[in-house]
Amino acid sequence: MTVKHLQTPLSDEDVLGLKAGDSVLISGVIYTARDAAHKKLAELIERGEPLPIDLKGQVIYYVGPTPAKPGQVIGSAGPTTSGRMDKYTPLLLKEGMKACIGKGLRNAAVKEALKKYKGVYLAAVGGAGALLSKRIISSEVVAYPELGTEAIYRLEVKDFPATVINDAYGNDLYEEGIKAYAR
């Protein structure tokens, strides 16, 4: 199996070079956002107000990291369930987001938006937050500090591992897996 190395920010070409099932290692800057931050971003977009981060080419990681222990950059940083962000994801893709990382299934509207706006949905391994945190080089809150662990963090990552679940062509690794084992 080939592992694809991605450097953020992502371009349309980067995204179109990925297929459901590909393993990727991401390096560069990614941002965190969960439910509360997504709601705030969506409200700003709907009002036509500027966002606290530029979404063009960006990767959003659905994580609420635990506080860092002394000597650590960040605490445990495992993915949260992506479905809670489904109602906001098409809007963020329209604004230029190229990838999101989480765990679990996405709805039909998200899959259509990934095709329309050339984006991908990636999964990180749930339950491996302590290991994933070792791929994070730096961490700083850049928006909504009042949200605590749900604030938007700017993370610098090196070889952050993920798997392409939904690609820009409408493929879904979960559906393909079900079909493969249904035989």
Handedness of CA 101, 102, 108, 110 (dihedral sign): negative
**Burial of 137 per CB tally in 10 Å (0-12, 13-18, 19+):** middle
Q: What would the two tokens of residue 22 be?
A: 């590909």
**Burial of 147 per CB tally in 10 Å (0-12, 13-18, 19+):** middle
- Provide the domain count of the chain: 1
Q: Which domain holds residue 10?
A: 3-182
Which CATH number do you get for residue 157?
3.20.130.10
| Per-residue pLDDT at 104 | 95
**Burial of 145 per CB tally in 10 Å (0-12, 13-18, 19+):** exposed
Q: Is residue 181's pLDDT more than 90?
A: no
Q: Is the peptide bond before 145 cis (omega within 30 degrees of 0)?
A: no
The string of pLDDT tens digits covering residues 82-125 is 999 999 999 999 999 999 999 999 999 999 999 999 999 999 98
Contact 79, 126 (CB under 8 A): yes
The string of pLDDT tens digits covering residues 155-168 is 999 999 999 999 99
Q: Give the residue-averaged pLDDT of 9-36.
A: 97
Contact 18, 5 (CB under 8 A): no
Measured CA to CA, the distance from residue 122 to residue 101 in angstroms comes to 5
Task: Give exposure, 91-119, as e/b (b: 16+ Cβ within 10 Å).
Answer: bbbebbbbbbbbbbbbeeebbebbeebbb
